[in-house]
Amino acid sequence: MIRSFSSGAYTTARLFPTSSNFDSTKQEYGDKIVYSPQEATSYYFTFNVNRQSYNKTAKTDEAQKTSTKEALLNKNFRQAINFALDRHSYSAQMNGEEGADKIIRTSLVPYDYVQVGEKTFGELAQEQLVTYGDQWKDVALTDGKDTLYNPTKAKAAFEKAKSELQAKGVTFPIHLDIPVEQTDVIAVQQTNSLKQSVEAALGTENVVIDVLQMTDNEKMSITSQAKVPSQKDYDLNGTGWGPDYQDPATYLNILDAKKGSALKHLGITKGKDPEVMAQVGLDEYKKLLDDAASETTDLNKRYEKYAKAQAWVSDSSLLIPVASSGGSPTVSRTVPFSKAYSQVGIKGDPFVFKGLELQNDIVTTKEYEEALKKWQKEKLETNAKYQKELANHVK
């Protein structure tokens, strides 16, 4: 792609920091490499809190299976894993050391997806999150910075979990099966990065990440293409979600106890498995969702209520947010932010070029950063104006 850009065939080229030719590309285009804004799709790990299939496992006996299941039902244990994951190191396996933070996301709903006045959705959710405990005081639900990774917090959460689990007869270490497609080099490196940071923070005498390499078909059959939740054959697996409409509900409803599309990734069947859902608090979460959905006349109040739901999701650590789409290094001859933009719908499609302008010279990093700041400022202003007009329309 970079060769076609250099020859003039392409106006933009995506770069790959972990590729063998990136160093030479960097030497040629060093001050012209820019990173696209983070996009709306969120990537995260999910815990299978109701695992029933063990065809692909490193566990050697029933005690390990039972102990892991009890651990995954324990919120303090899930929080320990959440705090033990080094997202910078994980993201660097794909986006390189310099670009690692460009794709980090710490929340299911993007922090700036909607806003109330001058406050972003992430700031609203953060205000609610700190009410769940001191462990969340220094956490910012934002993009581009890993405020979740904290080995000290991970150890503290684990010690709470260990005490609670030992009282139930759980034995350690807890073994977590994570499947990965064996020919996907970056995915293997990312999974090994996760293993390294979690085991370093918590100790292998407490937690062992078992990286299970397999073929693509094997992995798909026990993850995304499993026909029913009971066929989900893992303890921890990566997946993602992109929005369908401009409201936080489009993300947060995926964990709705009756209709959530992400329940299957937790090993839960929609509308069933009430005992498991109650153990992890999804019945209480349902009340937060219903309360937010019932607010149809005041957008600010609606978003504030959905922020409470996001805070619950963060505290539950059923989903471990890692990264976003976008944040990609590129070189380009297009005028920055000249094309139409939207986080949802066809307007934001990368193959829609309405408004796109070209320029003769390659965009420099400095030019892009200046344009980005201007665009972000204008976006906040226009978003606030749009939401105010929409609120008046709804009333």
Q: What is the mean pLDDT of residues 293-307?
A: 97
Provide the pLDDT confidence category of residue 230 given band limits of 50, 70 and 90.
Answer: very high
Distance (Å, rounded) from C-alpha 395 to C-alpha 391?
Answer: 6
Strands (E), 282-347: 319-326, 329-332
Give the H/E segment covering residue 158: helix 151-166
Strand order in the sheet with 319-326: 236-241, 38-47, 319-326
Q: Sketch the domain layout of the chain as residue ranges.
A: 40-326
Q: Residue 279 in contact with residue 267, Cβ under 8 Å? A: no
Residue 80 is predicted with a pLDDT of 99
Token pair listed for 163: 């005490």
137: number of Cβ within 10 Å: 10
CA 171/CA 187 separation, integer angstroms = 30
The torsion of the CA quartet 55, 225, 320, 142, rounded to 10 degrees, works out to 160
Instruction: Give pLDDT tens digits for 235-265.
Output: 999 999 999 999 999 999 999 999 999 999 9
Can you give the pLDDT at residue 57?
Answer: 99
pTM: 0.94
Which range (6-20, 183-197, 251-265) has the least confidence? 6-20
Which of the following CATH numbers is that of domain 40-326: 3.30.300.30, 2.40.30.30, 3.40.50.2020, 3.10.105.10?
Answer: 3.10.105.10
Residue 90 and residue 189: Cα distance in Å, rounded?
Answer: 8
Among the listed residues 200, 101, 192, 189, the one whose alpha carbon sits nearest the alpha carbon of residue 154 = 200
Q: Is 141 helix (H, G, I), strand (E, B) or coil?
A: coil
Mean pLDDT of 5-17: 90
Averaged pLDDT, 95-122: 96
Tokens linked to 304: 């504030």
Does position 383 have pLDDT exceeding 80, yes or no? Answer: no
Q: 30-39, 146-155, 347-356 — which is least confidently predicted?
A: 347-356
Question: Rounded distance, CA 369 to CA 359, Å?
Answer: 17
Between CA 296 and CA 305 the distance in angstroms is 11
